[in-house]
Structure 1
Amino acid sequence: MNRTLYSGLWWLALPAVLGRLWWRGRKEPGYREHWGERLALDGPAPTERATILVHAVSVGETRAAEPLVDAVLAAYPDCRILLTHMTPTGRATGKALFARHGERVVQAYLPYDTPSMTRRFLRRHRPRACILMETEVWPNLIHACARLDVPVVLANARLSEKSLKRGRKAGAVMLEAARGFALVAAQTEADAERIRSLGAPNVAVTGSVKFDVTPPPAALEQGDWLRARIRSGGAERPVFLCASTREGEEVLILDAWQRLADKPAGALLAIVPRHPQRFDEVAALASARGFKLARRSLLDLDHGIDGADVLLGDSMGEMFAYYAACDCAYIGGSLLPLGGQNLIEACALGKPVLVGEHTFNFLDATNEAVLDGAARRVADADALVATAAGLLRDGAARVGMGEKALAFANRHRGATLRTVELVQRLIR
């Protein structure tokens, strides 16, 4: 497939894409907002201040972009960041993370990748550089940037073998896009080799900027507050957190937790679904199994969750708080073949981490964490809850594993500085 065919397919698919947005908006109203931005018809007002475009598609990429955005703003004190997303949850996360920067960070949706929309978007904002996070390869955006002499950086880049095979099947359009990168800052040497094989000319290994994400003091305070609500008769309760769970996993976890005969006394299962539109669904799953449910959104300053079996984390932007409040954490998306999620934040707070067999989205970091003793793999949901219960009972093992997790996270810091130093060579 060449770029002309790719562009034609985008135009043919656009009615269905917009229809899907409207459909998803039934449960998540944010999908029905800001359509003009998605079509490059409106957006933040242009400015005379130099603009650097940073694209972070959704929640994970936006949180990963935090140290990079902070470093770019420090390196270029006269510039502003135009932070773009594709999902309402990514946009909400960015709003919460970067509010402290005021007007130096503005947000929008990235227009769909047609030639006319990308040209209109770039001419409106005239960015000095375009930084795409992790896996975001938009052929027409990259081509339009090249025509306008805007260097494109793929930062915190990762490429699995599965994604590499898909890229090769895409043919000329993906090869042209790879050649259009002025710089690729890859997480690992394996990622770098796979990206080089697509023809990217300037690939450096910088590590993962996710290791440089620092828990905000306010989030830690929120974690302390949450932990104070998790008491029974004034006594502490051990907490097993299942973070960023995906559809199909909660059923497995709840059923396994129900079957577990030797739960530690007072143990609380906390579940934080990755997608907010599923909060009510997960609440219904827990209640249908006879669990007494508490919802984070209903906690207040005066009431704890005495007697609750399951805490539903139905809030946005509080993942660090949930990690701070727990004793050990499962990282979702890995019990089923969904690729897993980022375990670095849990490790950065010194929490023992459990993962399933399916971690291909974060394979290198997860494998290294397992080898370091910071994380353990489990075969299924029953093994997951049994391992978690063992850690909740064994304080020495839990503390030792948490110390290894913290050491693992600290050892890999520095990717942000390395990436910004390379970016500064492109942007004068």
Structure 2
Amino acid sequence: MLTRWLYSLAFYLAIPIILIRLRKRVKKNPAYRHRIRERFGFYSGRKPEQSIWFHTVSVGEFVAAKSLADRVLKAYPQHTLVITTMTPTGSDRVCAAYQQQIAEGRVLHVYAPYDLPGAVKRFLNWFNPRLLVIMETELWPNIIHFTDKRNIPVVVANARLSEKSANGYRKVLPLFRPMMREVSLIAAQSDIDGERFVELGLPPANLQVTGTVKFDLDIEPGMEASAKELRGLWGNERNIFIAASTHEGEDEQLLEAFLYIRSNIENALMVIVPRHPERFEAVADIIKARGFQFSRLSRDEPVGESTEVVLGDTMGDLLRMLGAADVAFIGGSLVPVGGHNMLESLAMGTPAFTGPHVFNFQVVADLLSELDVLRTVSSPLGLGQAVVTLLNDSEAHKTLADRGRQVVQDNRGAMERLFNLISKYL
């Protein structure tokens, strides 16, 4: 109690710093200036009678949650589904995915309140949730405390806890341990994740190991046809290498790897897709500075024989671009960001490479490596050599692509287990 009170006091005192940081983010992404009142728990518009609250931090968590959210929407039509995010990109993805349901009032999107007692109470008063589902491990002491205090179940779905994160929580154990006792259920991705949560204070009875929902990808029926159409625009005869979800510090390395690829495969085309839209212009400048002929997907610029690089500067098109490529590199892994979802590439039939920093997807990466459908590289040269080797061996490429698809299919099922657990609370 005292520890959480001190935490809350520190949070209130930090509000000026938070607002300064928010202002800095506005310079990179102007969307951060909108709806700031929501972050402090002030809302307008329709006030639902009762709701189910899904908290997804940003795009990755929402993509993982969407199939589960769809099931909940269908099974419980009397409830409004309130989806919160922390970022504008997450907000855009939610609004695009549920445009019709938002218009009908079935789904509401708002920014999650800051973890301040007043903001959290205002949120709970306004939306009156019957259940809170937190995707992955976005754990906030006041959100969990005040939700639990109202006898609202708190479920942490697809939960993961790396050793690095566990070490961080051990430093604030007097704050973390009471929070763990207020969580109704943690549905962990693996036994190791579950053991770490129990060690940090979760009652063993409140733990279920369900596997990762990452395998339960929601791929629309027409996606493969759309990817095939895009491939035709890029050139069916070309060898296409895609660098997906790249971060600052990676783009230069990946373009260096492409120089090696192009020196060995003359018709090679690179597609580079920055993870965050605020980096689109910066990456365009990097490509231009290195002298590549490039086109931008957002402008529908033609991809001719002289085009060397395509900048994927749109949102919501990554699956289509992955399906249009021959080989993928999944970003956030050459720099210590923690990696991104490599299963999307495999599900679209595109073999994937990743860097060594995949701690955000460690369970998935370990399984895929063990099954020999994910290759790890540690340098631009190593990536270039691995891509060239695979592109020059059509039989090995087809075998790897087919096996990757099958592994994704064989490991589905976590979403069904999660839905059954959540249903018990509703």
Q: Normalising TM by the smaller chain, what interval? A: over 0.9
Q: Indicate conservation of the 8 Å contact 2:48/2:126, yes or no.
A: no
Moved more, 99-108 or 20-29: 99-108
Distance 1:360 1:119 in 2: 34
> In 1, are the aligned partners of 2:224 and 2:323 still within 8 Å (CA)?
yes
CA contact (8 A) 1:43 1:108 kept: no
Partner-residue secondary structure (3-state), 1:236? coil
- Hey, what does 1:163 align to over in structure 2? 165
Match of 1:405 in 2: 404
Alignment of 1:300-311 (within 5 A): 303-311=302-310
The 8 Å contact of residues 71 and 417 in structure 1, kept in 2 or not, is answered as no
| Number of the residue aligned with 1:18 | 19
Deviation at 1:217, TM superposition (A): 3.1
Aligned mates of 2:78, 2:61 — CA distance in 1: 25
Aligned to 2:195: 193
SS in 2 for 1:237: coil
User: Equivalent of 2:125, from 103, 120, 123?
Assistant: 123
Mapped pair 1:5 → 2:6: yes
Q: State the Cα deviation string for residues 340-376 of structure 1 (Å, max 9, x = none).
A: 1111111211221101111111111101111112111
Distance 1:106 1:305, change over 3 A: farther
- Amino acid in structure 1 at the alignment position of 2:163: E
From the superposition, tell whether residues 405 and 43 of structure 1 become closer, same or farther in structure 2 (CA, over 3 Å).
farther
In the aligned structure 2, how far is the partner of 1:101 from the partner of 1:348?
27
8 Å Cα contact 1:159-1:191 kept in structure 2: yes
TM alignment of 1:41-56, pairs within 5 A: 41-48=42-49, 50-56=50-56
Deviation at 1:408, TM superposition (A): 1.3
Which ranges of structure 1 fall in alignment gaps of 5 or more residues?
none
Matches within 5 A, 1:190-269: 190-201=192-203, 202-231=206-235, 236-260=237-261, 262-269=263-270
**Offset of residue 43 of structure 1:** 4.3
Report the CA distance between 1:339 and its aligned residue: 1.3
Letter in 2 for 1:424: S
Alpha-carbon distance in 2 for matches of 1:394, 1:377: 18
Which residue of the partner structure matches residue 91 of structure 1? Answer: 91
CA contact 1:2–1:171 (8 Å) conserved in 2: no
Asked whether the equivalents of residues 228 and 304 of structure 1 are also in contact (C-alpha less than 8 Å), the reply is: no
The worse-fitting range, judged by mean Cα deviation, of 123-132 and 97-106 is 97-106
SS at match of 1:128: strand
RMSD: 1.5
Cα deviation 1:358-401 (Å, max 9, x = unaligned): 11111111011111121111121111122112222221111111
Identity %: 39
SS of 1:162's equivalent? helix
1:359 matched residue in structure 2 = 358
Q: Deviation at 1:259?
A: 4.2
Instruction: Using structure 1 for the length normalisation, give the TM-score.
Output: 0.95
Structure 2 residue identity aligned to 1:405: G
8 Å Cα contact 2:189/2:363 also seen in 1? no
> 1:260–1:241: structure 2 CA closer, same or farther, 3 Å change rule?
closer
Structure 2 runs not aligned, ≥5 long: none
Aligned 8 A contact 1:55 1:110 in 2: yes
Using the size of structure 2 for normalisation, the TM-score is 0.95
d(CA) in 2 for partners of 1:222, 1:6: 49
State how far apart, in whole Å, the 1-side matches of 2:347 and 2:114 are: 35
Aligned to 1:67: 67
Report deviation, 1:142: 0.6
Measure how far apart 1:222 and its partner are. Answer: 3.3
User: CA offset at residue 260 of structure 1?
Assistant: 4.6
- Partner of residue 106, structure 1: 108
